[in-house]
Structure 1
């Protein structure tokens, strides 16, 4: 290897021993699989056995099996954590834990990042993991954040078979946040030779990865079956078969849990959560996510002359909604009300309370805007998991004269509508993806954002300025200005940081929920 003339600043200098834990359901994904650096002898457990079933709240979309197409939501990572692996990702011990990369460093001038890759690792099909796979996976990535990554990265160089270097056009403080966290799927690795041979579409049908579980079978609309990867580079999973069943109907998910047809279920709401609380054989496990949810003004995006073009109308909608009442009814009060699309725990977040519930003020604002008799606001497209939330919101809007209807959709179709900008009136939106304020704003508040319904030149300019600003305080000022403008102009209707109601049954001694901080699913 040639001498590197640039002084490098170590970000992770060596691996450190992590403590082991008693494993239950969580051990099935070996996510304290991780106790990643346990001595080899300790990692050798008995062969995996048994089966665990998850009742999942959405129809499983095969596009989620491919890291290259990861949207700016957390759902696909349920499958990526199981079947795939990343250079760096959140684990129980830390937010940026070394995985396929054993260490990494940044040059003193901020223009390059080196990653040392783990050796001796094999994909599920036996292909060895090398720097070629890292380069290939990055170049084919087209999910959330891809445009920003490709714009900022000048080149990805293979220094040697197990070392890569990212060269940037200019210093970019958020490179690691975009690449080395689930803010995007760009750092999750697929096998180059296999993927080139079968093609991108076939890869979704027969995915091959580096994760603790290998693909076994997929029945569209029914279930995904995974088998333990006994060659996984961390410790071997304890459970032989993991079944992820698509069960969109919440009452059915709960019934499966009671009958022990499922061990863990996600996305319960309202009365069903209370029912779990009353059952001594079940355990309610709410997870408060970095998952903000809000409603976008799609009609304003398409038509600058729509009623939503008037700030007073947008403010009226924000004042019309009784968020606390909806929170109590739908998420048992576990959600945290918010006036922002940025979670409060994110770096550079500006903490904003929601607009006060004030239907009289909402009516007054509508009158001032020339809509004393209200107006027809059309349909609000919503992921059917959150239909109850939007039904309650629409009732509040209608009560002040903003007459809207609910359009429930399956998650994949709803996500396609957000991505392709096909909604015409209103649309429910949300994200539980990792990152910081900048990654969330990039995807949802800039004109170029993958799922943004906002076009504002001033916001775009501030965003570009902060993206290259290395002074933390100056950068925070710019990011706070964007968040404040979103609030003052009421460019969306923020609801809350979601309290995601999950539950486990008697066979799941440890569900794995909340094991990885801020992650929605079992870890």
Structure 2
């Protein structure tokens, strides 16, 4: 089977005519290693029969809806990609590769021709066609959280040639096109319309696993898709375990308890206070992944908002000690941010460490506050955060630091399900703790979160920035990107706090653990060794 990959990350995905070349795939591996297979070992010891292997994964919260292209939360991403698939995906090499697409070419710089595999079957047995792709693209366009990934699609001129071939036109060249297309879940229109609740609790996709149970607030249960259309054809989308259970565990302490008691086998978000002990334990392995995920302080810069004052934003930024937050909240398991650019971006250079314009300086913060026109004790600001423990702890530290320059802060805590709606509300917050992630260039972040043609989180809308951004998105020019960074840091509409490192803790017997897309581990793709036989079939 031909599996062509797009070389490099976003900026090298040039929107030029012609077909990109790549490499072929290989057969699906068993996922079982050692001289004796796990299943054989279990059978000999009187364990459960083949076909009943189960891994239990911890995720932090219930996304509240399992609909396609609807909830853009990490906890949803961690499980939905097992049952929903996309036209293209971010693979294990950090590149964009075809998934549902068999063949593609740029007819010209604005028209992408794709051909689907003709044997793609949904979990109900329906054949997936280009009409379903069109439906899925249109559905994403109307999604509050995914519409930003569709703004460059020319919907009025989508052309369907036949059941498996279509042309997706775009409005202009854009280096972020490939990322946008990897965000959108593709489902059958008929399956969606036949669903009793539009797939809120009963998702139906084309992936290697299908949802067989969903208990809100408790868990999602996935079973191997025995009729998976892509079985045995690639090294990805494997089904090396028969059942995957994602348990929602919002309480940090309970995650470790659940791991140690055997209630879960894999923890996505271990408590940082217990991480060193887990690392030193002979019972578990730990995967460390440095990421570009950046918890940040988002300012409400909308017209009329107190934080639309640039000097006030600068004062607040100088008043916060990122190093102290990393030490107190992340126990040193993170990198204090010193720029909107992260160490994972190609724009990064080590000089940024010593040239942070907002390095902790209370006197400088007080000077900015005076320039902003405020006296100590004059301001009371509203700081919003979700119920993630590290975010709540960071909010309290920020509250204490701002008190030192005479700014009172009132903290409001929201549940995960309602928190993202704050991003569109101008009157309910002054600051909020949220996160951004970049893939490849920092242009990814600017194009997705600071782009008036797509999405502006925090409502900072600067004409000079937007004009340069519009041009940079066409060609990824380094000088333009550098100028964008400079303007952003001068205005600081979002103040980066730290760059996260992810730690995944799991029981012995799991190997070949890797992450792809948004730092996600796919349980079906990992290898289960004989050592896993003591728990995999219990």
Q: What TM-score do the two structures reach when normalised by structure 2? A: 0.80
Q: Is the 8 A contact 1:511 1:522 kept in 2?
A: no
Question: What's the CA shift string for 1:320-362, capped at 9, x where partnerless?
Answer: 1111222133333332333444544346679855421122221
Q: 2 CA distance for matches of 1:88 and 1:428?
A: 31
Q: Which residue of 2 aligns with 1:67?
A: 68
SS at match of 1:267: coil
> 1:460: which partner in 2?
466
Aligned-pair CA distance for 1:70? 4.4
Aligned position for 2:24: 15
Distance 2:245 2:61 in 1: 14
Question: Which residue, out of 401, 411, 431, partners 2:406?
Answer: 401
* Aligned-partner Cα distance in 2 for 1:522–1:175: 25
1:168 aligns with 2:164: no
* Matches for 1:79-98 after TM superposition, within 5 Å: 79-98=79-98
Query: Which residue matches 1:28?
Result: none
Partner of 2:223: 227
Q: Partner residue of 2:535? A: none
CA distance in 2, matches of 1:67, 1:433: 22
Consecutive unaligned residues in structure 1, runs of 5 or more:
1-6, 25-45
Aligned to 1:446: 451
Alignment pair present for 1:382 and 2:382: no
Distance 1:517 1:207 in 2: 21
Q: Secondary structure at the match of 1:68?
A: coil
What is the distance in 2 between the residues matched to 1:147 and 1:252? 36
| Corresponding position of 1:190 | 187
Give runs of aligned pairs for residues 121-140 of structure 1, distance below 5 A: 121-140=120-139
CA contact (8 A) 1:177 1:436 kept: no
Contact 1:417 1:423 in 2 (8 A): yes
Q: Please say if residues 50 and 241 of structure 1, whose CA atoms lie closer than 8 Å, have aligned partners that are also in contact.
A: yes
Asked whether the 8 Å contact 2:151–2:453 carries over to 1, the reply is: no
Following TM superposition, by how much is the alpha carbon of 1:407 offset from its aligned partner in structure 2, in angstroms? 2.3
CA distance 1:122–1:486, shift in 2 (3 Å) = same
Residues 19 and 478 of structure 1, relative CA distance in 2, 3 Å threshold: farther
Where does 1:426-441 land on structure 2 (aligned, <5 Å)?
A: 426-432=431-437, 434=439, 436-441=441-446
**Alignment correspondent of 1:248:** 250
8 Å contact 2:452–2:466 — kept in the other structure? yes
**How far apart, in 1, do the equivalents of 2:76 and 2:303 lie?**
29
User: Partner residue of 2:332?
Assistant: 333
Q: Counterpart of 2:511?
A: 510
Gap change, CA 1:449 and 1:403, over 3 Å in 2: farther
Note if contact 2:159-2:166 (Cα within 8 Å) is conserved in structure 1. Answer: yes
Confirm or deny: 8 A CA contact 1:292 1:432 kept in the other structure.
yes
Q: Report the TM-score, using the length of structure 1 for normalisation.
A: 0.82
Match of 1:38 in 2: none
SS in 1 for 2:24: coil
Q: Deviations over 1:183-217 (max 9, x none)?
A: xx22x211111113337x43112110011111111
Higher mean alpha-carbon deviation, 389-398 vs 79-88, is at 389-398
Task: Tell me which moved more, 215-224 or 286-295.
Answer: 286-295
SS in 2 for 1:224: strand
Asked whether the 8 Å contact 2:259–2:267 carries over to 1, the reply is yes
State the Cα RMSD in Å.
2.9
Matched residue count = 477
Deviations 1:152-188 (A, max 9, x none): 4252222222222112334334322321x3xxx22x2
CA apart distance, 1:517: 6.7
CA contact (8 A) 1:213 1:229 kept: yes
Shift of 1:449: 4.3
Q: 1:411 aligns with which of 400, 416, 438?
A: 416
Corresponding residue to 2:206 among 194, 205, 210: 210
Residue 196 to residue 441, structure 1, CA distance change in 2 (3 Å): same
Cα offset for 1:249?
0.5
CA distance in structure 2 between the partners assigned to 1:364 and 1:328 by the alignment = 27
CA gap 1:363/1:150 in 2 versus in 1, 3 angstroms: closer
Q: Quick one: distance in 2 between partners of 1:330 and 1:17? A: 44
Q: Structure 1 residues 522 and 288 mapped into 2: Cα distance closer, same or farther (>3 Å)?
A: farther
> Quick one: distance in 2 between partners of 1:485 and 1:239?
49
Per the alignment, residue 366 of structure 2 pairs with: 363
Structure-2 change in CA distance of 1:369 and 1:322 (3 Å)? same
3-state secondary structure, aligned to 1:502: strand
- Stretches of structure 2 that go unaligned for 5 or more consecutive residues are 1-15, 34-48, 233-237, 524-538
SS in structure 2 at match of 1:10: coil
Q: Secondary structure of 1:105's match? A: strand
Is residue 101 of structure 2 the alignment partner of residue 101 of structure 1? yes
Distance 1:19 1:50, change over 3 A: closer
Q: Which residue pairs with 1:114 in the alignment? A: 113
